[in-house]
């Protein structure tokens, strides 16, 4: 067998806090045909809701997404960026969607899109890193090391298939104190049976392990079983798994698709898993590039088109599927942008913004008050909805879980489900 220092491997993994999603991409890979199969088949129930979380990294400009086209203050604040009334896709007599979002506009007309307006949190932070941490941990008051989905995982057992991130880096929201989501991402090449046997030895239980090393072993075994369960669903001729104790997530070479954008690729994986009845209740995907300090209109419009062309076919596909009819998609960003434009035809970091919730179970319409464009907080929109109330509702109504371990006490549903 190939020599691998088991103790050093496990200590390194424990030192970087590897959780149930565990062992991350890039160092070695093994064919999933050699991996152990899970001990029992687990499937999604006919009435089990599925939550798909879409994170827009960079701070999406809500005022150019849900556009207050009838408000003269909007035109006055950003004369070079503002969309004319004739350009928008009207939602009502005051607000319209960005012209790139024709698919979501149709879902709105079918009452399958809810737009929660003015979403923020107390004392908003304009740092990308801190604000995203706040959204992903659901802890505005103080930094914490666990995410809201991670805490739900901690409270509900140890099945590694309950939550899956589609992407190379496991987001903070997916990491708990004892559990974490599984992850699918990228490409990898198969390796020899010798290395596969060595990796199996690394995950074997040992009475001399420290608690942290034992946790890593357990996470590793769960990750390998998860890979074996998912690979047939993706329909690859020779799917592969990558494992690295320091950097990424479980990695599959997925079947080729004709999807027009990377978000479509990721949602295609989600669709296959849902249609196959995998017992996963939460999926996470991401789209970046929304930090539009300069030349915002063409940049954001392209990204919103990517979002629309990824989400709309996915939701259409799900609406006719036995399991997909229970899917709810939530789209959020770490903050909105300032009301006024800057000198570079862009906008700077702001505060409140809209959150989209879509799917067959959704009660379409507006929720929350539309923020005033004249009654501002130092140039920023004032929020009226705490994002944790959205989390509370999707956890209780879609995932079917007690929201308190994830979002704390004092939260309430908004009513879109």
Asked whether 387 and 380 are in contact (CB, 8 A), the reply is no
DSSP-derived letter for residue 287 is: E
CA 286/CA 94 separation, integer angstroms: 30
Convert the pLDDT of each residue in 131-187 to its tens digit.
999 999 999 999 999 999 999 999 998 888 899 999 878 899 999 999 999 888 644
Q: Is there a contact between 386 and 409 (Cβ–Cβ < 8 Å)? A: no
pLDDT digits (tens, 9 = 90+) for 299-326: 999 999 999 999 999 999 999 999 999 9
Kindly report the number of other CB atoms within 10 A of residue 232's CB atom. 13
What is the share, in percent, of the chain residues with pLDDT greater than 90?
67
Q: What pLDDT is recorded for position 3? A: 44
Residue partners of 357: CB distance under 8 A and separation at least 6: 113, 114, 116, 328, 329, 330, 331, 390, 394, 416, 417
Higher pLDDT among residues 9 and 379, named by residue: 379
- The pLDDT assigned to 195 comes to 46
Q: In the predicted model, is pLDDT for residue 339 greater than 70?
A: yes
Alpha helix segments (H runs only) across 166-261: 193-202, 211-234
pLDDT value for 169: 80
Q: Which residue has the higher pLDDT, 116 or 258?
A: 116
Q: How far apart are CA 375 and CA 367, in angstroms?
A: 20
pLDDT at 183: 85
Position 249 scores a pLDDT of: 36
Give the span between the Cα atoms of 287 and 59, in whole angstroms.
11
166: which strand partners?
Answer: 184
The confidence score (pLDDT) of residue 160 equals: 82
- φ/ψ (deg, to 5) at 194: -60, -45
**What pLDDT shows up at residue 226?**
59
Q: Say whether pLDDT at 129 is over 70.
A: yes
The string of pLDDT tens digits covering residues 347-387 is: 999 999 999 999 999 999 999 999 999 999 999 999 999 99
* Helices within 80-159 (DSSP H only): 102-109, 128-137, 148-155
Confidence band (pLDDT; 50, 70, 90) for 7?
low
Rg (CA), the chain: 22
Q: Does the structure show a pLDDT above 60 at 253?
A: no
Residue 110 has pLDDT above 90, yes or no: yes
Give the model's confidence band at 43: pLDDT under 50 very low, under 70 low, under 90 confident, else very high.
confident
Q: For each of the domains in the chain, give its residue range(s) and CATH number, in order of start.
A: 41-188+257-407 (3.40.720)
Q: Given a cut of 80, is residue 211 above it in pLDDT?
A: no
Three-state DSSP class for 29? strand
**Residue pair 155/137 in contact by the 8 Å Cβ criterion:** no
What's the order of all strands across the beta sheet hosting 89-90?
A: 66-67, 96-97, 89-90
Lowest mean pLDDT of 150-159, 228-237, 346-355, 395-404, name the range.
228-237
Q: How many CB atoms lie within 10 A of CB 110?
A: 10
Q: Which of these ranges, 6-20, 102-116, 220-234, 299-313, has the smallest mean pLDDT?
A: 6-20
């Amino acid at each position: 067998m190939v020599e691998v220092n088991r103790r050093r491997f496990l200590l390194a993994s424990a030192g970087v806090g590897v959780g149930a999603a565990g062992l991350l991409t890039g160092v070695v890979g093994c064919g999933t045909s050699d991996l152990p199969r899970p001990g029992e088949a687990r499937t999604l129930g006919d009435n089990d809701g599925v939550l798909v979380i879409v994170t827009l990294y960079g701070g999406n400009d809500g005022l150019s997404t849900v556009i207050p086209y009838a408000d003269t203050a909007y035109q006055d604040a950003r004369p070079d960026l503002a969309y004319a009334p004739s350009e928008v896709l009207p939602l009502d007599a005051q607000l319209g969607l960005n012209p790139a979002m024709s698919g979501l506009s149709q879902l709105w007309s079918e009452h399958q899109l809810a737009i929660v307006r003015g979403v923020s949190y107390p004392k908003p932070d304009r740092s990308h890193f801190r604000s995203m941490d706040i959204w992903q941990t659901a802890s505005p008051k103080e930094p914490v090391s666990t995410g809201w989905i991670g805490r739900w995982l901690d409270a509900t057992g140890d099945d590694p298939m309950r939550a899956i991130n589609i992407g190379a880096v496991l987001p903070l929201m997916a990491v708990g104190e004892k559990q974490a989501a599984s992850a699918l991402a990228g490409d990898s090449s198969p390796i020899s049976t010798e290395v596969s046997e060595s990796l199996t030895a690394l995950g074997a239980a040992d009475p001399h392990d420290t608690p942290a090393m034992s946790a890593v072993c357990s996470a590793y075994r769960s990750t390998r079983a998860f890979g074996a369960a998912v690979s047939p669903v993706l329909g690859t001729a020779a799917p592969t798994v990558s494992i690295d104790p320091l950097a990424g997530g479980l990695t599959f070479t997925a079947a080729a698709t004709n999807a027009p954008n990377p978000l479509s690729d990721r949602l295609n994986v989600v669709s296959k898993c849902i249609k196959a009845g995998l017992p996963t209740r939460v999926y996470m995907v991401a789209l970046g590039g929304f930090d539009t300090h300069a030349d915002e209109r063409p940049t954001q419009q392209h990204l919103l088109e990517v979002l629309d062309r990824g989400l709309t076919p996915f939701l259409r596909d799900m609406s006719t599927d036995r399991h997909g009819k229970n899917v709810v998609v939530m789209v959020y960003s770490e903050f909105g942008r300032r009301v006024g434009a800057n000198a570079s035809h862009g906008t700077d970091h702001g505060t409140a913004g809209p959150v989209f919730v879509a799917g067959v179970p959704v009660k379409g319409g507006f929720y929350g008050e539309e923020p005033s464009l004249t009654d501002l907080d130092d140039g920023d929109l004032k929020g009226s909805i705490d994002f944790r109330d959205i989390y509370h509702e999707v956890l209780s109504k879609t995932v079917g879980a007690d929201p308190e371990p994830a979002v704390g006490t004092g939260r309430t549903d908004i009513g879109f489900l």
